[in-house]
């Protein structure tokens, strides 16, 4: 009703008034269409991991085998195994988990790629587990030393934390942790703990940012 009313007014208005009406149309009409588009039913899409507000890190401080700790983490985060063999994070269903090979993970994080390719089953030793939560955000799962737990658990961190995240339980890194993908800054590729052993755990050294999320990469 607003637009037809403006059209009727424009037939009676002079040049100054017409300019004012044109300005109103330029501002109001696009925003109206945007609101309609946002409210359209059935149009929900999943947001890429780099574009979501980051969840807090999740840490399970308990004893157990690696498989037991992974099971507890999956239960706590409410995720189940992927149904398809391989899928991009953006297309994976919420509440699911998959794996990503160390090299692919490193390339994605170093280049700040907005998407990750997940596999239902780990195809290589040292693969990292990725959880896609119910809100569409992503967590990277690995093992850390007990000494860093107090630094990464708080949801509000005043500063970044240098984090050594192992793909598997190794040495003193026996605490399982899931850290938000959007708060990870990586400047180097993952590396084998023992380069002479193909089955050696993988170490990813990175910064877990504080309260300020990094910006989503340009697409």
Asked whether residue 141 falls in the same domain as residue 202, the answer is yes
pLDDT at 215 over 60: no
More confident residue, 180 or 28: 180
Same domain, 95 and 193: yes
**Whether residues 63 and 114 fall in one domain:** yes
Does some domain include residue 219?
Answer: no
What Rg value do the Cα atoms of the chain yield, rounded? 24
Threshold 0.85, pTM exceeds? no
217: in domain = no
Query: What is the arithmetic mean of pLDDT over 30-40?
Result: 38
Q: Is residue 204 part of a domain?
A: yes
60 & 15 share domain: no
Provide the number of structural domains found in the chain: 2
Phi-psi bin for 126: left (phi > 0), alpha (psi -120 to 50), beta?
A: left
Domain identity same for 125 and 53: yes
Place of tokens 């994976």: 92
Query: pLDDT tens digits, residue range 72-130?
Result: 999 999 999 998 889 999 999 999 999 999 999 999 998 887 688 999 998 888 999 99
- Residue 214 located in a structural domain: no
* Whether 93 and 178 share a structural domain: yes
Between these two residues, 34 and 170, which has the higher pLDDT value? Answer: 170
Beta strands in the chain (DSSP E): 58-60, 80-81, 86-88, 96-100, 117-119, 128-132, 138-144, 161-166, 175-180, 184-185, 191-192, 202-208
Residues 7 and 67 in one domain: no
Cα-Cα-Cα-Cα dihedral sign, residues 213, 214, 215, 216: negative
More confident residue, 143 or 114: 143
Q: Which ranges of 115-158 does DSSP label H, i.e. alpha helix?
A: 149-152
Q: What is the span of the domain harbouring residue 67? A: 49-208
Same domain, 112 and 17: no
Tell me the per-residue pLDDT of 149-202, one tens digit each, with 9 for 90 and over. 988 887 667 678 899 999 999 989 999 999 999 889 998 899 999 888 888 899
């Amino acid at each position: 009703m607003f637009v037809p009313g403006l059209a009727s007014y424009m037939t009676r208005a002079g040049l100054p008034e017409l300019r004012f009406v044109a300005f109103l149309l330029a501002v109001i009409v696009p925003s109206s269409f945007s609101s309609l588009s946002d409210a359209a039913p059935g149009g929900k899409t999943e947001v890429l991991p780099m574009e979501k507000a980051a969840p807090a890190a999740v840490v399970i401080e308990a004893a157990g085998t690696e498989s037991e700790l992974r099971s507890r983490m999956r239960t706590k985060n409410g995720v189940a195994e992927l149904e398809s063999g391989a899928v991009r994070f953006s297309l994976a269903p919420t509440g699911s988990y998959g794996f990503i090979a160390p090299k692919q993970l490193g390339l994605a994080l170093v280049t700040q790629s907005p998407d990750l390719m997940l596999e239902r089953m780990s195809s290589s030793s040292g693969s990292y587990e990725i959880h896609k939560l119910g809100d569409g955000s992503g967590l990277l799962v690995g093992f850390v030393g007990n000494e860093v737990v107090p630094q990464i658990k708080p949801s509000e961190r005043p500063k970044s934390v240098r984090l050594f995240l192992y793909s598997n339980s190794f040495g003193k890194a026996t605490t399982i942790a899931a850290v938000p993908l959007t708060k990870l800054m990586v400047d180097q590729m993952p590396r084998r703990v023992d380069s002479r052993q193909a089955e050696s755990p993988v170490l990813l050294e990175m910064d877990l940012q504080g309260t300020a999320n990094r910006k989503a990469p340009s697409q």
